[in-house]
Chains A and B, each alone.
Chain A
Amino acid sequence: MNGKAIIETKNLTKIYHVDGREIRAVDNLNLTVYEGELFGYLGPNGSGKTTTILMLLGLIQPTSGEGKVAGYDIIRESKMIRRVAGYIPERYSFYEDLSAYENLEYFAKLNNIPKNEVEERIKWALEIVELSKWINAPVKTFSRGMKQRLALANVLIRKPKIIFLDEPTAGLDPHATAKFRSLIKKLNNEFNITIFLSSHMLHEVRQICNKIGFLKDGRLIAIDTIDGFMNKMGIKVILEATNINHKIIKSIESLNDVNKVLKVNDKLVIYARNDVRLDISKIVTGLGEYVLTLKIEPPTLEEVFFIVYGEKGG
């Protein structure tokens, strides 16, 4: 899906100084996200996800480097970016005493929505996020899941090209999470809104996104489509034998095509670039044991990250 780039950064860097120590919250980030993508920005706590988003929206100043969102410079034209980009922060709050409608109306006005369109757009957006029934209810009566959908309506009203979601399902119950995720996909699908979703949960990103950037200590250490990641990893072979001894493991590990060998209970899990079943079977019999099972399984994305990046998602 190599269309037009909607996010482009060049050596984007944010450095904090804490007690004389330098923290590179975002470190020379070179990132491109294309229009229409469901981009997952994956990284553990403190890896710099929020910092990246805030810089892209012009809400904090980068230390160095540059970036563009929707063609606008993040330093000089950030106001224009906020006109076409929606943002759902990690932690935020509406005005709790005001109703859903009053909240959306206030923000719609601040988004220069023409007066005669405000009501219509609010109703349209609330319909999409299935909150029409609660249009006049004060936000303080909303559940966390409803507030999150209200936040989505709030950004929909400005008809955005891109929505930044920072850990959007943190604190939602499974039902609300599922509902929210399908809503995000729907927005991407029906309105072709680019989604930039940050998360520390691999399984979340995998469910929603078609492309993943993996962030660690402020650095983008991998970026690819999900298929791309899976191909890099190759295949997974499961071996059960009469006795899996040290010698067998050593020999398998020394095979050219093998990336990694793990002993799980009394099974051996072998990650390899090619089908190495024949070699394995030879090794096992050659060392005087018998093969009980030898089968290929597709690796999970979790395994890909665990093996390739030494990180475990979820």
Chain B
Amino acid sequence: MSTIIIALKEFSDHVTSRRFLILFTLLSVLSVLSAFSSISRAFIGEVKMFSDILTLGRLSIIYLIGELGPLIGIALGFDSISKEIESGSMLLLLSCPIYRDTILNGKILGGLLTIILALGTSTILLTGFTLAQIGIAPTSEEIIRLILYFLASIIYILSYMALSMLTSIISKRTSISLLTSISIWIFFTFIMPMIASSLATILPEEDIEGKIRIMTITLLLTPVQHYYTLSRNIISPKFSIDPFSIFPRRSIVKPLTLIESLNLTWPNLAIITSLLVIFVAASYIKFLKEEIR
């Protein structure tokens, strides 16, 4: 019960914050842009199935969430604990007859609700817009795939929220927490891919296999790579990507069944989920024994 009380306050704090409104608007605008880009692809005949809309092109929702999603997570988490410690409201909260894990549970739940709102809006905008323009309706299987993709995206964003919550607890300082989380996001989302390609160029021209191996190893260290792979596999029956390969190959033979796709998806999902679990667990351990005065 106390968890829900805290969660609702968190949720209302989030959705009324300027920070969230900016990101929310950005995400919505990009979703609409993404819809337009798939519309133009429809005219050149690339889009044949609904799921193509979501997986094709640099502006597809996969890239949108893959790159920007973490920022939403961070925005929800980086000051969640430190702000209340810095201001001193945490002491009033702690002096209530509740346990500390209730506070964390409430904050995580509140963040989760906010993510669902943000992601839900952008998905609805995107699908609604494209549907209205090109009139390709999703099949019932595609709807299930879309829902699963939605859930996986929530886990992905939530893991970044848990990460920033952890930095918030460890640093107890909002500014440090923000810097740390943002650095980690930028490093794993943008720098690591760059490192991957520069490492590849070091190897001799003809060592293609070596280049691929070194790029694969580097990219597999980034959450976003796992997110891309699982997203393509889960959204589209046309993708049949080995979970630990970095090349988004399409299945040439025939579309995959939902079960086949799920079998390809779970290793990546397990990796992202374990990140979430690790960050949440570390947050609990650290916060429960933290001395706050």
Contact = CB atoms under 8 A, between A and B. Distances in A.
Nearest to A79: B97
Interface stretch (A84-92, A191-199, A252-260, A272-280): A84-92
Given A60-B291, A109-B5, A89 B89 contact: no
Interface in A125-166: 151, 154
Contact of A94 (B5, B89, B96, B292): B89
Contacts of A109: 2, 5
A83 interface: yes
Contacts of A87: 91, 95
Interface string B1-21: 110011001000000000000
Nearest to B2: A110
Contacts of B187: none
Interface in A36-61: 50, 54, 57, 59-61
Interface in B91-105: 91-99
A79 B88 contact: no
B92 A154 contact: yes
B95 A93 contact: no
B89 A93 contact: yes
A54 B293 contact: yes
A106 interface: yes
A75 interface: no
B201 interface: no
Interface string B64-92: 00000000000000000000000111011
Contacts of A112: 1-2, 97
B97 A92 contact: no
A176 to B, nearest CB: 19
A111 interface: yes
Contacts of A91: 88, 91
B89 A79 contact: no
- What is the size category of the interface that chain B forms with chain A? 20 to 34
B9 to A, nearest CB: 6
Interface of B: 1-2, 5-6, 9, 87-89, 91-99, 289, 291-293
B95 A59 contact: yes
Contact of B89 (A61, A90, A95): A95
Contacts of A54: 291, 293
Nearest to B289: A61
A165 to B, nearest CB: 12
Contact of A50 (B88, B92, B293): B293
Interface of A: 50, 54, 57, 59-61, 79-80, 82-83, 86-87, 89-96, 106-107, 109-112, 151, 154
A235 B6 CA distance: 58
Contacts of A57: 95
Contact of B92 (A60, A89, A90): A89
Closest 7 CB pairs of A and B: A93-B88, A83-B97, A92-B88, A87-B95, A110-B96, A82-B97, A93-B87
A83 B99 CA distance: 12
23 contacts: A59-B95, A61-B289, A80-B97, A82-B95, A82-B96, A83-B97, A89-B95, A89-B293, A90-B293, A91-B88, A91-B91, A92-B89, A92-B91, A93-B89, A93-B92, A96-B87, A106-B9, A107-B96, A109-B5, A110-B96, A111-B96, A112-B97, A154-B92
B92 A107 contact: yes
Given A109-B5, A110-B2, A110-B5, A59 B92 contact: no
Nearest to A14: B291
Contacts of B93: 110
Nearest to A89: B91
Contacts of A90: 293
B93 to A, nearest CB: 7
Contact of B5 (A50, A61, A92, A106): A106
